[in-house]
Amino acid sequence: MSNEKKKKSGLLTMLLTENPVFGLYLGICSTLAITTTLNNAIGMGIAVTVVLVLSNILVSAVRNITPEDIHIPVYIVIIASLVTIVGMLIQAFTPSLYTALGAFIDLIVVNCIILGRAEAFASKNPIGASAKDGMVMGFSYTVSLIVMSLIRQLLGTGCVSLSNPFTNAVIFSLRLLPEGFEIPLFTTQMGAFLCFACLAAGVTAYKNKLEDEEKRS
């Protein structure tokens, strides 16, 4: 196997085994709630990624001057400030997306992925590595949202569509299932739990397979 293929395989394995949603079970509430459309998934994914990267950078920058007994409150203040700024930008430039995401924008503050990476990685590593960690985790989270939203939107409505969040103009809308073959259950929270369970089971099966291969080698 070439080095390029090994790198791609290693990246895919990392994105699956360390997937924050389906592998580590973090940020599940927002994942279940907002993955009804592709627009919501991309918007939330970008917002969380921006906050993740910036919070990791800032936490890493102040890690050596933050007293141990107040480091968690300091991290929360940093994250809350970033979420407030990101929320204001979304409300100003994409009000329809802001309305669709609703309270879940503010709840990014308590998203376990962001505080978890700040505590577990950024507080112990330099700025460059922390920024990279934020990008990887944010990308993995965004991919998770997109996959779930595609499945739920397709099975629930029979269509896959995307619109411009700035103008609300439809970029594309494809009907992939004939009318009458939709499964409305997938537009509900029950459908979200079912979709999540299937994807999490698939990731777990892949992780178990890798562990078995390592034991045999």
Three-state DSSP class for 197? helix
For residue 125, what are the domain limits?
24-216
Interval 91-104: pLDDT, tens? 999 888 888 887 78
Residue 106 lies in a domain: yes
The per-residue pLDDT for 217 is 73
Q: pLDDT tens across 82-137, in order?
A: 999 999 999 999 888 888 887 788 878 778 888 888 888 999 999 999 999 999 89
Question: What DSSP element (H or E) covers 99?
Answer: helix 95-101
Share the mean pLDDT of the chain.
87
Whether residue 14 lies inside any domain: the answer is no
In a domain, 73, yes or no: yes
Q: Answer whether residue 3 shows pLDDT above 60.
A: no
- In total, how many domains does the chain have? 1
Residue 190 forms part of a structural domain: yes
- Is there a domain that residue 4 lies in? no
Poorest-pLDDT segment among 27-31, 52-56, 79-83, 110-114: 110-114
Strand ranges for the chain from DSSP E? 159-163, 170-175
- pTM exceeds 0.85: yes
